[in-house]
Chains A and B, each alone.
Chain A
Amino acid sequence: MNPAGTIDPPEAAPAALDGFEGMPLRVKAVSKSFAGNRVLTDVSLEAVPGEIHLLIGPNGAGKSTLFNVMTGVHRADGGEVRLADARIDRLRTVQVARRGVSRTFQNLQLFSDLTVLENLLVAEHASRRRAVRRRSRDGQAMLRDLIDGLGLGAVADKRPADLSFGERRFVEIARALASRPRVLLMDEPAAGLSFGDRARLKEMLRQVRASGVTTVLVEHDMRFAMSLGDTATVLAAGRCIFQGTPADAQRSEEVRREYLG
């Protein structure tokens, strides 16, 4: 039985991605307003290495904004974000990225004039600047694993415009992983994916978790999220209304009211 209370078919322990490691991400009392509109109020969460931390809530709850604050796209009005013990909320996006925080975008932001492989290479290049203790394999092997693991082998030399929607989603995800992130922020990666693609994504995320990377997953698809998540933070109208296991989240009265009800 996994935390969501459903039974998954028995499977071998997922192979971990080599050379990855995670770092804790702590968000403390973050608030953000835009032109007088309060989008985030006093939001805190702690994402831990080797776990998938769900970030769920209705549309407009502030999830993407929180990602933007975490990655330096917006500056929080109050509160702080820490990667391990270092504050990152005052850093620019480029600096946050160089510290090992990777993300996917809800509305795909692929490099449209570069091939799939080139998209990954751009991200992989960034990771070379960090002093990440690599274990056995080198960057190319890692990219090979990512490409194969997400079924992109046949299209590695094509541009995003020539790909199917599912393939484009996977490129976005592969790119986020290509930089060997310590923290992986995923913004609705399963949206619009076919059943088969969803299974493949699930498998990849399990590998990521097994590697020790810290993952924060925003997801609308409850079944998908619950089957993967280890902890959940529920946002509604910019506030945290629940934190705990996914199973408890489903049972919580408040969450039901705000979101599922």
Chain B
Amino acid sequence: MFALLQTSLPHVAQPVVIGVGIAYFTVIVAISVWAARRTRTASDFFVAGHGIGLIALTVASVSTSVSGFAFIGGPGLIYTVGLGAMYIVLPASVTNVMGAWVLAKRMRLLGEARGLMTVPDAIGARYRSPAAQGLAGIAMLVGIIGYMATNALAMGVVINAIFGVGIGWGIWLGMGVTLAYSVAGGILAGIYNDVFQGTLMAVASVLVFLFVLKVGGGLGNISNTILASDPTFLGPWGKMTPLAALSFFFVFGMGSLGQPQGVHKYYMLRDPMQLKWYPLLKTLGLILVLLLYFGVGVGVKAFVTNGMMAPLSAPDQATPSLLLSITPLFLAALVFSGVAAATMSAANSFINIGAAVVMHDLPIAFGKRLKNELFWGRAVTVLIAVAAAIIAQKSGTMVAFLGIFGWGLFASTLVPALAVGLNWEGATKAGAIASIATGLIVTLALETASFRKVFTFPSGVTASAVALVLSFLMFFLFSWLTRRDAKNQIDPDVALIMEL
């Protein structure tokens, strides 16, 4: 989610922080060795053999949903623009259950009926179209490159802050560990590492939130401190325009239905009946992890206002500065490990999804199937990770650019074709292809034009939002134009799953 870390963090390489960091990496290695022994097939590697339990899947899904942005970039954004930044996370109150109703059951049953492993797989099966599957795969790959590079840079920054090894070595160290468990244990290692990492993130988040409330004398006192000097900060839109804040809600709300790192997990649940409690548990988990986002953003604003903390040199310093100046060192160490956990968790998930696109979806689009998907899955995993690490070492501005459009690209290319398509028998292959192509082209064109300052959006309008809206409209328009006989173009098993 979003660009993660665009500035360096302060060095915190002290015995307690290093000790907690080493303990954290030791647990990661142990889980990975365990998982590697249980990964024998491509299905194990990419969807954990459709065999993950409810609690593990929920915690893992929370872990991959938030990334390091929730711990570093997000609080910094609140510190800068006030409550308007909350519109990125507020949709969580509806997105998990929306995903459950719209996608979870149908994707899980498609996995059951067809042994599907990837999100483009579902698009291919729904429209009986390798072309739509391949195009969705290409769109995902473009988004994944951006996400991976950003997460690799974020890893480098955090590991450098903890161990003081330099950002370059931090990138290779973090990516090396992630790669080791991704290659050896695939998504199985990823899931159980995510369970550990998600738990760590939730504990750290709750502790920091409670600490901020205690130091600030409660939320009321914190609010009064801010209101005395900067009432706009606590206005309903913060310092943003209403249109800009509402745009966040639209892109992060509706767009959640197209995020492969979340949607992909529906395939993995062992028993489809366990979906019953999935949205409730995931929403509660997300609330816990996001407490830090709100608490630190608002708390630091109050502490800087009343002189308890020095003004920040950059917004991304909000969390590290608070941890180093106010909280106990052990808690700081826990949060730094939590940030490393978040970036590695997101990276692992994207590596796995990207590898599946390259060795599974793209060959299908060209009418071929690889014979040894497990071997090729591992090989492509290495390639993607190395490519991401190399890109991450390039210009920070370029990496920031790549990271920004990931969420929007997934949203505009996948939401109409997948989320509406699996629930409307009138949707057609032409509609899906038009929608995916529109999302891909419009997002890339507008983001590039904006990045190169060829074009400036009016306040409150973003490339992601425009691309998502246009993608929806193209989907409906082309489906309507080609609607003749649409219902008969669906395979009987897919039709049954859509009707249930």
Is A bound to B?
A: no
Residues on B facing A (Cβ under 8 Å): none
Residues on A facing B (Cβ under 8 Å): none
